[in-house]
Chain A
Amino acid sequence: MNILAFLIPVALLLGGAGLALFFWAMRDGQFEDLEGAANRILIDEEVEREGSDGVEKETGR
């Protein structure tokens, strides 16, 4: 039964980490443009490279 004292916090921590990640992703705007994200993978390699420069500069990511 002592294992519970270890497992329950671990389960909660993992769940909490997932939740925190979701919150972060939402605040970061990952869900702002789902349609655009779905379409961006279709953009050609060369175009994507030039386009992503802008993204880098803009988002600081």
Chain B
Amino acid sequence: MNAPANPGSPRPAQSLDSRFVVPGMRCAACIARIERGLLDLDGVEAARVNLSAKRVAIRHNPEVDSEFLLGALGRIGFEAQVVDLGSVSKDDGESRMLLRALAVAGFGMMNIMLLSVSVWSGAGGVTRELFHWVSALIALPVVAYAGRPFFASAVAAMRHRRTNMDVPISIGVLLATALSVHETVIGGEHAYFDSAVMLLFFLLAGRALDATMRDRTRAGIGALLSRMGKSARVLAEDGSTRTLAAEDLEKGMVMLVAAGEALAADGVVQDGRSAVDNSMLTGESAPQSVREGDTVHAGSINLGDPIHVRVVAASSDTAIAGIARMMDEAGQSRSRYVRVADRASRLYAPAVHTLALLAFAGWMIAGAGWHQSLVIAIAVLIITCPCALGLAVPAAQVVASGALVRRGLLVKDGSALERLAEVDTALFDKTGTLTLGEPVAAIDHLTPEQKAIGLALAQSSRHPLSRGIATAVEATGIRPASLKAVAEVPGLGVSGMLGEVPVSLTRGREDRAGLASILRIGSESVEITFTDPVREDATPTLDALRAMGVRSRIVSGDRDAAVEALAAQLGLVGEGEKRPESKLALLEALKADGHRLLMVGDGINDGPAMAAAHASIAPGTASDVSQQAADAVFLGSSLMPVAAAIAIARRTMRIVRQNFGFAIGYNVLAVPLAISGLVTPLIAAIAMSVSSLVVVGNSLRLAKTGSEP
């Protein structure tokens, strides 16, 4: 995103640019670790982190491939994904455009005001005319440039025979500018360039706030498909292999999947035994062992030995592509949601037009002449300027989202707050959402020596269970024992030698009770069990939700027994063994009963349900797909941000309603004055600014909610 990525700049031909998404980076230390760690590698010329977009841009030699860089990032401690350059280049053009327009309008406003104030305070004759001409010279290009967002939207609306807020704005601005030019040419007393440009400035401020809000956490990548393997090595009949892109794979081909590689298509294991990481499909972090005849899905990662997989479904037929389609279809219903501001403008725009037209007609009938009638009509259009209305929603939402960020929750889209305020039922996924999704080892029954050996073995593996053991032992302050000949047999375990004694850490019995590993030291062996702990504040969060009238239940893809145990512990209704389709079906059934649903989940299997729900929240540890589908993402191990989000969203909507009240009240006062022809440009300018400031000030009250418990 940063300057280094400028594709137009000349550079030595031998360097390549790669970009990676690193969702885990949060702080200055992460930036330093990633940039420094990457620069220490041979072949890496430059690395630059963009913290807002959670990306890192790396310039490197062609010998260094992205697999190596991914591995290096992993060793530094960050999980990363490759982003293809094509999807990066289309960035947030809209908010940049609005910022530019805002800057131009601000420039025009300041200079024209300077001249206008001189005219108001009594400059006359030639000076006044000169000032009007200079104003015109500034205002015309400024209006042409800064007004584009409104004109374009107004034209689009008119073409579809609708009106929106931009239609009266455009008419007001264009009429005011045209009349001012006319006044200037005939040497008249008043010009309204200042009003026109100021109107644009305040409205653009609202729009820019709105766009900032939407861009804030949008990680514009096609996350779902980027997680799938991009290519596969295909075994030909003569034993040779060739690499094919994922979309060129066909049913019946045999893929050779190396350890650590992501599958590019759905298939059946034909040869070999291994363990695959299905976490992106099911949310289950424990690897699943597979052997001949087992089905494996695109997107899962082969953790163990190389396997041969016969393709049964490729590219758009894969399970993951099916989920993507479901998400797409489910998301349609949400995009039909009408935002508060749009609903307001639907009522507001026709009313303003009618008023202005009536004022014009009335004064014409009263015999005021077309010039004065037009001035009054423009005054009506401008003083009813939806400045305050335009700011009412975005100002409140930006402040509220700031308050939520301090509580550890990133809101992606302003309308998400509106929808969050309306929910009455919350559906929680189990693993990774109500629980932390990281296996924690129970090590209290181990002797310090066993712990030290276990740590030494666990440290040399990236298996989730090993990491669970390592974390638990490290927390007790025990140092790893020094082992020799430590080797990992993928899918089986880690083994090594403590002096003359063979030691190993292997997979435990596959029983229903849960995950387990076995630590063997010589002939003695000890079992280490794992639990997936419930988030610490799950109970208070659910209580807080209940107090707000939001009922919660669990829907999970996990085994029924595990879900029921957790449901009983938390006092909720729970349903397990739900596939993505059945989650979606349950959601639709509840929706049909008139419930507004909040979906909280982390797996790709939650994606369709999250896209279909009225609002959705994902934990920061969730797969990219759920983060993409979610309206908001909460960071850290606390679940409380979910309750805070609903509480603050509801408060935001109260403030928005007050803002609308202010804005409408202001119009009720100002419109009669404008219609009766009493409004001078000075009064219009002051009234406009004051109403906008009141709305912004009122919205700032939301900032305080961030510091309350």
Which residues of A does B touch, CB under 8 Å? 1, 4, 8, 11-12, 15-16, 18-19, 22-23, 26, 28-29, 31-36, 39-44, 47-48, 50-51, 53-55, 57-61
> Distance in Å from the Cβ of A3 to the closest Cβ of chain B?
12
Bound complex: CA A40 to CA B110 (Å):
34
The 9 closest A-B pairs by CB, nearest first: A36-B51, A58-B4, A42-B28, A58-B46, A39-B28, A47-B32, A59-B3, A54-B46, A35-B52
Bound complex: CA A43 to CA B29 (Å):
7
Q: Please list 22 pairs of residues, one from A and one from B, whose beta carbons are closer than 8 Å in the complex, sorted by A's number.
A: A8-B115, A19-B104, A22-B103, A23-B100, A23-B103, A26-B99, A28-B3, A29-B2, A32-B50, A33-B50, A33-B51, A34-B52, A35-B51, A39-B31, A41-B28, A48-B32, A50-B39, A51-B35, A54-B39, A54-B45, A58-B45, A59-B2
Please state if A32 and B31 are interface contacts (CB–CB under 8 Å). Answer: no
Provide the B88-129 mask, 1 if CB < 8 A to any CB of A, else 0: 000000001001100110010011001100000000000100
Find the B residue at minimum CB distance from A56. B46
Please state if B134 and A39 are interface contacts (CB–CB under 8 Å). Answer: no
B16 interface contact, C-beta 8 A: no
With contacts A42-B28, A53-B39, A55-B48 known, is A32 near B2, CB below 8 A?
Answer: yes
| B115: A residues at CB distance < 8 A | 8
Provide the B1-23 mask, 1 if CB < 8 A to any CB of A, else 0: 11110100100000000000000
B406 interface contact, C-beta 8 A: no
Contact of B52 among A8, A36, A59 (CB under 8 A): A36
Please state if A29 and B45 are interface contacts (CB–CB under 8 Å). Answer: no
Q: Using a Cβ–Cβ cut-off of 8 Å, how many residues does chain B contribute to the interface with A?
A: 39
| B612: A residues at CB distance < 8 A | none
Provide the B232-263 mask, 1 if CB < 8 A to any CB of A, else 0: 00000000000000000000000000000000
7 extra A-B contacts, CB within 8 A, seeds A18-B107, A23-B103: A12-B138, A32-B52, A33-B51, A50-B35, A54-B47, A58-B46, A58-B48
Bound complex: CA A26 to CA B101 (Å):
12
| B3: A residues at CB distance < 8 A | 28-29, 58-61
Please state if B51 and A8 are interface contacts (CB–CB under 8 Å). Answer: no
Bound complex: CA A5 to CA B621 (Å):
63
| A41: B residues at CB distance < 8 A | 28
B650 interface contact, C-beta 8 A: no
Bound complex: CA A12 to CA B104 (Å):
12
Please state if A32 and B103 are interface contacts (CB–CB under 8 Å). Answer: no
| B36: A residues at CB distance < 8 A | 47, 50-51
The A/B interface has a contact count, at CB < 8 Å, of: 102
Contact of B110 among A15, A32, A35, A44 (CB under 8 A): A15
Please state if A1 and B107 are interface contacts (CB–CB under 8 Å). Answer: no
With contacts A4-B127, A22-B103, A47-B32 known, is A33 near B1, CB below 8 A?
Answer: yes
With contacts A8-B134, A12-B111 known, is A54 near B35, CB below 8 A?
Answer: yes
Bound complex: CA A60 to CA B3 (Å):
9
| A28: B residues at CB distance < 8 A | 3
Contact of A33 among B46, B53, B104 (CB under 8 A): B53
Bound complex: CA A39 to CA B35 (Å):
14
> Distance in Å from the Cβ of B197 to the closest Cβ of chain A?
13
Residues of B294-308 at the interface with A, using a CB-CB cut-off of 8 Å, are none
Please state if A39 and B1 are interface contacts (CB–CB under 8 Å). Answer: no
Taking each of B32, B46, B49, which has the highest tally of chain A beta carbons within 10 Å of its own beta carbon?
B32
Provide the B36-69 mask, 1 if CB < 8 A to any CB of A, else 0: 1001000001111111110001010000000000
Residues of B248-305 at the interface with A, using a CB-CB cut-off of 8 Å, are none
> Distance in Å from the Cβ of B166 to the closest Cβ of chain A?
24
> Distance in Å from the Cβ of B72 to the closest Cβ of chain A?
15
B669 interface contact, C-beta 8 A: no
> Distance in Å from the Cβ of A43 to the closest Cβ of chain B?
5
Bound complex: CA A5 to CA B2 (Å):
42
| A60: B residues at CB distance < 8 A | 3, 9
Bound complex: CA A18 to CA B292 (Å):
69
| A19: B residues at CB distance < 8 A | 103-104, 107
Bound complex: CA A50 to CA B357 (Å):
66
> Distance in Å from the Cβ of A58 to the closest Cβ of chain B?
4
B27 interface contact, C-beta 8 A: yes
Please state if B107 and A15 are interface contacts (CB–CB under 8 Å). Answer: yes
Bound complex: CA A53 to CA B4 (Å):
13
> Distance in Å from the Cβ of A14 to the closest Cβ of chain B?
10
B478 interface contact, C-beta 8 A: no
> Distance in Å from the Cβ of B181 to the closest Cβ of chain A?
19
Bound complex: CA A42 to CA B47 (Å):
18
Please state if A57 and B50 are interface contacts (CB–CB under 8 Å). Answer: no
Please state if B39 and A11 are interface contacts (CB–CB under 8 Å). Answer: no
With contacts A36-B49, A54-B35 known, is A15 near B28, CB below 8 A?
Answer: no
B144 interface contact, C-beta 8 A: no
> Distance in Å from the Cβ of B322 to the closest Cβ of chain A?
36
Taking each of A16, A51, A55, which has the highest tally of chain B beta carbons within 10 Å of its own beta carbon?
A51
| A22: B residues at CB distance < 8 A | 103
Contact of B51 among A18, A26, A39 (CB under 8 A): A39
Contact of A40 among B6, B28, B39, B96 (CB under 8 A): B28
Bound complex: CA A61 to CA B45 (Å):
15
> Distance in Å from the Cβ of A17 to the closest Cβ of chain B?
10
| A31: B residues at CB distance < 8 A | 99
| A39: B residues at CB distance < 8 A | 27-28, 31, 51
Please state if B111 and A11 are interface contacts (CB–CB under 8 Å). Answer: yes
Bound complex: CA A59 to CA B3 (Å):
6
Find the A residue at minimum CB distance from B55. A33
